[in-house]
């Protein structure tokens, strides 16, 4: 085994946002030297990594030159320059998840085609290279429109109910999907190392904010039958085995009215749906990511307690220097842990942090989560 700990080994991370910040907690625990590349000098990771570089993640030279400084490269965001990664890989740099995996996943059209090719259940879809091309075809409304690239947290996703709604869309490479009536949105995080060792976390349930199309609550364990949970984990494992990725893969799923499981989309990294694991699991998702990419034995994915995550997002009507109002009130409640991401500026619906609630009883945890959600406010001066 290579010596990663208290050594000259350098781990490079493309992206320095909150996922990178939570990953750094684990690299610091293991004393692994980290180099971060991010577009903003005020990125959450900027002050806490060993080396910080500011630069555009989509620029070939920036990503390539950064890769030459490190011994192994990973990502905390998939919107990165793939050509630079392919060249670095060709020159012998170890990159996890592999560039070909990121390349498929970062384009929603290629991602959906991959599901179809590998017989992974997913909603019917069609690809379009422009808005013009989309408008020239007849469609059965309603349908879901997704920008093929650079969408996140509800950005780049719209439900199109009539022909008039087409005028609201951006002129970009896109896909449309059949609108699926579903009972639950679920997610499974799968970890896989280079040896092919593979583990899944328990199935979680996601409750969404209707306006912002962002996850409001992540609930673990999901309040579903064992049969549905096993089906979801089996499909998530099939996705991971099909990609043969190294690292974490977050698989977002729909549970239909008939209890069928369909894959919505995947992310090749730590994910919002796994944040609960920091407090609730034996091995949190960020430590597991490190174990995966360094080809170490994977940790126990079981939960110690039920865990619920509440997203902290900027309140509507507030932009500017952030204030976390009533944070002292939620700290009085047993089993409540806030995570503040270090973004100095708030704006409506911007992800600013999250709060985890742990309890022996998932329904009790959900009640406390509601109290937390209604108490803490992310506002500005």
180 is in an annotated binding site: yes
E strands, 125-277, are 125-128, 143-147, 157-160, 174-178, 182-192, 198-200, 204-209, 214-220, 247-256, 261-267
pTM: 0.95
178 is in an annotated binding site: yes
- Is the domain spanning 124-178 CATH 3.30.1490.20? The answer is yes
Cα–Cα distance measured from residue 188 to residue 236, given in angstroms and rounded to the nearest whole number: 6
Cis status of the peptide bond prior to 97, with omega within 30 of 0: yes
Nearest to 250 by CA among 230, 273, 231, 228: 273
DSSP for residue 119: T
Quick: pLDDT tens for 249-270: 999 999 999 999 999 999 999 9
Domain limits, the chain: 10-95, 124-178, 182-380
> How is the chain split among helix, strand and coil, in percent rounded to 5?
30, 30, 40
pLDDT above 70: residue 153: no
110 is in an annotated binding site: no
Quick: pLDDT tens for 338-362: 999 999 999 999 999 999 999 999 9
pLDDT above 90: residue 167: no
264 is in an annotated binding site: yes
Cα–Cα distance measured from residue 305 to residue 198, given in angstroms and rounded to the nearest whole number: 22
265 is in an annotated binding site: yes
The confidence score (pLDDT) of residue 156 equals: 85
Report the CATH number of the 182-380 domain.
Answer: 3.30.470.20
Report the CATH number of the 10-95 domain.
Answer: 3.40.50.20
- pLDDT grade for 138, boundaries at 50, 70 and 90: confident
The confidence score (pLDDT) of residue 368 equals: 98
Quick: pLDDT tens for 218-235: 999 999 999 999 999 999
Half-sphere exposure of 50 (CA within 13 A, CB side): 17
């Amino acid at each position: 085994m290579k010596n990663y700990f208290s050594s000259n080994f350098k781990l490079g991370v493309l992206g320095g946002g909150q996922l990178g910040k939570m990953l750094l907690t684990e690299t610091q625990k293991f004393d692994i030297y980290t180099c971060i590349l991010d577009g903003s000098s005020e990125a959450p990771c900027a002050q806490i990594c060993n080396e910080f570089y500011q630069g555009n993640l989509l620029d070939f030279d920036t990503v390539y030159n950064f890769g030459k400084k490190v011994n192994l490269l990973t990502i905390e965001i998939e919107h990165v320059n793939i050509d630079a990664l392919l060249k670095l890989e060709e020159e012998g740099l170890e990159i996890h998840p592999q560039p070909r995996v990121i390349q498929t996943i970062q384009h929603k059209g290629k991602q959906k085609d991959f599901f179809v090719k590998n017989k992974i259940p997913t909603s019917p879809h069609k690809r379009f290279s422009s808005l013009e091309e989309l408008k020239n075809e007849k469609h059965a409304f309603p349908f879901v429109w997704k920008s093929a690239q650079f969408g996140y947290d509800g950005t780049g996703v719209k439900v199109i109910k009539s022909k008039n709604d087409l005028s609201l869309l951006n002129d970009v490479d896109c896909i449309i999907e059949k609108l699926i009536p579903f009972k639950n949105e679920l997610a499974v995080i799968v970890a896989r190392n280079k040896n092919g060792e593979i583990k899944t976390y328990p199935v979680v349930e996601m409750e969404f904010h209707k306006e912002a199309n962002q996850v409001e609550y992540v609930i673990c364990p999901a309040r579903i039958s064992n049969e549905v949970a096993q089906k979801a984990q089996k499909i998530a494992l099939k996705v991971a085995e099909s990609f043969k990725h190294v690292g974490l893969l977050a698989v977002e799923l729909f549970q239909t009215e008939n209890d069928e499981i369909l894959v919505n989309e995947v992310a090749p990294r730590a994910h919002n749906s796994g944040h609960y694991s920091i407090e609730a699991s034996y091995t949190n998702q960020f430590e597991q990511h490190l174990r995966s990419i360094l080809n170490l034995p994977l940790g126990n994915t079981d939960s110690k307690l039920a865990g619920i995550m509440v997203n902290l997002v900027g309140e509507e009507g507030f932009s500017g220097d952030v204030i976390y109002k009533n944070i002292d009130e939620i700290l009085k409640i047993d089993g409540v842990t806030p995570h503040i991401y270090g973004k100095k500026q708030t704006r409506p619906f911007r992800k600013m942090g999250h709060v985890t609630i742990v309890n022996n009883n998932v329904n009790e945890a959900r009640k406390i989560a509601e109290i937390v959600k209604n108490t803490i406010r992310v506002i500005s001066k």
